[in-house]
Amino acid sequence: MKKSIAPLIMAGIMTLASGCTNLGYKSPDDNSAYSQTIKNNKFSKYLKKNEFIVPDKVFSAYENASRTGPTYANSNGNGCAGTCIEDVIDDEGKFIEILSNNGCSKKEISDYCKIFSTKDNIVLRELPDEYSNYFEKALMHERMHYLQNNLNENDMQKIKDCWSKIMDKKYNNQDYSNILSNECKSHEDRVKKEVMLKWEEMLPYMTTIETDINEIIIKDYPEVYQIYNNMKEEAELK
Ligand SMILES: [Zn+2]
């Protein structure tokens, strides 16, 4: 999970996938059973080779095996829509145990372990049709993380410096300090809080939610805005 989580309203979503049969992710090898079912997901045509869609239960298992997952997923009825992998699974033993209890085969478990442990993979939770809008946003968001993680040092530093300067001012702002110290009630507040706590979230969230930070960057940080635009263009679903 680490830094790259895209939160969304997930009410009712637990009814989505049952077991590990209705799989909609791109298989690491053509012989896998999953390559047949990927066709059923209307977003599969947008996926690049490092991008996967996994069933709700599998993504939940990953959240439960991650240090930051369960807390985040259980607060305010939110879950994560996707993640950009930066490291190995925090508790792979627990992940395997949950998948096994859900009826996944050894082959499925091994594929999922590989998918969730490969740096720069983007893994998305399979969502029902009514959440399509979130799916596109989540994919954009995680692609922004991927691109940002792979920027050159110079550009990355510009983003960090920009974030520090903006946040120095924000910490003195009443609205923002309230968000930091209180339980977040709205999606927008949760986004603001994440952006305040992690520089990595600033540009990815700019693609999906308009806050005053967008205006500040356009006005005062043209170089960062250019980096953002280049990344956004590449992250778009085509
Ligand atoms: Zn993120």
Distance 126 CA to ligand 1 centre (A): 17
- Taking the whole predicted model, whether its pTM rises above 0.85 is answered as no
**CA 81 to ligand 1 centroid distance, Å:** 10
Q: What would the two tokens of residue 131 be?
A: 């959440």
* Residue-wise pLDDT tens digits, 110-146: 999 999 999 999 998 887 777 777 788 889 999 999 9
**Distance between Cα 197 and ligand 1 center (Å):** 11
For residue range 76-117, list pLDDT tens digits in order. Answer: 344 678 899 988 898 999 999 999 999 999 988 999 999 999
**d(CA 172, ligand 1 centre) in Å:** 24
- Interval between CA 142 and ligand 1 midpoint (Å): 6
Ligand 1: distance of its center to the CA of 89 in Å?
17
Pairing status of strand 51-54 against strand 78-80 = unpaired
| Cα 214 to ligand 1 centroid, rounded to whole Å | 16
Within 10 angstroms of residue 121's Cβ, the number of other Cβ atoms is 20
* Average pLDDT, integer, range 61-68: 83
CA of 36 to the centre of ligand 1 (A): 30
Rounded distance from Cα 153 to ligand 1 centre (Å): 20
